[in-house]
């Protein structure tokens, strides 16, 4: 039985470690694509080309070195993102832009194909087989100098959610229906920046506007504090009651009084110290001369301090000093 549990735990740990190792890269999403760029974004060589934007949806840095970008589902390893480039480590919630100019000699972010006629863009894991994200471009292509992207960064088809099952189900359903949910031809072309800019106030400012006197905060927060601690109270009241009953049954059973053991259920608790005191009082009462108010002896624990003990002596744990023989 123990072996079964060990095997189960080992298997669980292995599965978990596999999931965790794959989690980082799986957080990357294709976020925005521009196929034809004649008057828009200029790359670091002063040229214009189509581009693919990736977005790190996670709250940790993701290294995409060794992953692949392609526009051909039959050739998943068309362009490998070089390894060892510090810039391929994408910070949390940040974007990275790849220029689809078919000029890979120009650096890490210039890929080996262009995309004016592409039907699909795929981002593939560093094993060259697992498709992390894919997007089917609109039929008839993306209008020139416009971009096709997620309305909310990182969200939409294949979006990562906290509920993996739901995400897979939704993604599969959308895939079966041939939909790119959450994607659109964007009003503004936004390479390397958020597709949707949230011009909202901070939480603190919003709270200041909605609750200028702090009354709502006090009511809500105190309610939450009370709910949390009331729950804890209820749970431990229940647990405590059970523990009391159990200890009474155990105690009664140890005395061999089964009837008593059955009758203790529901009775109030009395601490062990009280029982001990009563027992001692009865004992002393039976021993005639022992009933008194002032004790003539004191039972206590005297701690013996030993300054030296061979058990802690380092001398016994050392090796003997080797003898040196000198030739005369």
Distance in angstroms (rounded) separating the CA atoms of residues 53 and 191: 7
Distance in Å, CB of 112 to other proteins, minimum: 42
Q: Judging by DSSP bridges, how do beta strands 95-100 and 28-34 pair with one another?
A: unpaired
User: CA 270, 276, 277, 278: dihedral to nearest 10 degrees?
Assistant: 70
Q: Measured from the CB atom, is 294 or 318 closer to other proteins?
A: 294
Please give the residues from 210 up to 239 whose contact with other proteins meets the rule CB under 8 A: 211-215, 217-218, 220-222, 224-233, 235-237, 239
Distance in Å, CB of 228 to other proteins, minimum: 5
Q: Measured from the CB atom, is 116 or 240 closer to other proteins?
A: 240
Q: Which two tokens stand for residue 2?
A: 């123990």
> Judged by CB under 8 A, which of 204, 297, 312, 323 binds other proteins?
204
Q: Is 274 in the site for other proteins (CB under 8 A)?
A: yes
Among candidate residues 146, 100, 138, the one with its CA nearest the CA of residue 120: 138
In the block, tokens 């000093």 appear at 321
Q: Is the dihedral of CA 165, 170, 171, 176 positive or negative?
A: positive
Distance in Å, CB of 256 to other proteins, minimum: 22
> Judged by CB under 8 A, which of 2, 4, 203, 314 binds other proteins?
203
Q: Is 60 in the site for other proteins (CB under 8 A)?
A: no
Distance in Å, CB of 41 to other proteins, minimum: 34
Strand order in the sheet with 28-34: 95-100, 50-56, 28-34, 148-150, 183-185
Please give the residues from 234 up to 263 whose contact with other proteins meets the rule CB under 8 A: 235-237, 239-240, 243-244, 247
Neighbours of 67 (CB within 10 A): 24
Q: Would residue 84 be called left, alpha or beta, if left means φ above 0 and alpha means ψ between -120 and 50 degrees?
A: left
Size of the residue set binding other proteins (CB under 8 A): 40
Please give the residues from 138 up to 197 whose contact with other proteins meets the rule CB under 8 A: none
**Where does this chain touch other proteins (CB under 8 A) — which range of 62-70, 130-138, 199-207, 253-261?**
199-207
Neighbours of 240 (CB within 10 A): 11
> Judged by CB under 8 A, which of 161, 172, 270, 313 binds other proteins?
270
What number of residues does the chain have? 328
Residues at the contact surface with other proteins, assessed by CB under 8 A: 202-205, 207-208, 211-215, 217-218, 220-222, 224-233, 235-237, 239-240, 243-244, 247, 269-274
């Amino acid at each position: 039985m123990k072996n079964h549990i060990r095997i189960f735990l080992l298997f669980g740990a292995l599965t978990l470690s596999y999931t965790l190792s794959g989690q980082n890269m799986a957080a990357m999403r294709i976020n925005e694509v521009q196929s034809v760029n004649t008057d828009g974004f200029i790359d670091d060589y002063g040229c214009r080309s189509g581009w693919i934007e990736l977005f790190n949806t996670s709250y940790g840095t993701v290294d995409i070195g060794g992953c692949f970008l392609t526009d051909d589902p039959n050739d998943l390893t068309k362009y490998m993102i070089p390894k060892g480039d510090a810039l391929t480590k994408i910070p949390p919630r940040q974007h990275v832009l790849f220029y689809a100019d078919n000029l890979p000699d120009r650096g890490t972010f210039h890929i080996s194909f262009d995309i004016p006629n592409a039907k699909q863009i795929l981002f593939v894991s560093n094993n060259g087989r697992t498709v992390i994200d894919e997007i089917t471009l609109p039929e008839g292509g993306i209008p020139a100098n416009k971009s096709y992207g997620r309305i909310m960064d990182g969200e939409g088809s294949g979006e990562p959610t906290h509920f993996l099952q739901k995400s897979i189900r939704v993604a599969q359903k959308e895939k079966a229906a041939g939909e790119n949910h959450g994607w659109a031809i964007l009003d503004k072309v936004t390479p390397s920046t958020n597709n949707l800019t949230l011009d909202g106030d901070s939480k603190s400012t919003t709270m200041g506007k909605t609750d200028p006197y702090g009354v709502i905060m006090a009511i809500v927060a105190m309610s939450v504090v009370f709910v949390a601690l009331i729950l804890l109270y209820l749970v431990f009241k229940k647990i405590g009651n059970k523990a009391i009953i159990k200890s009474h049954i155990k105690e009664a059973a140890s005395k061999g009084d089964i009837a008593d053991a059955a009758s203790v259920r529901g009775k109030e608790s009395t601490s062990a110290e009280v029982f001990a005191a009563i027992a001692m009082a009865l004992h002393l009462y039976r021993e005639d001369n022992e009933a008194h108010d002032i004790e003539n002896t004191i039972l206590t624990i005297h701690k013996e301090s030993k300054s030296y003990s061979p058990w802690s002596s380092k001398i016994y744990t050392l090796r003997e000093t080797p003898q040196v023989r000198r030739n005369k």
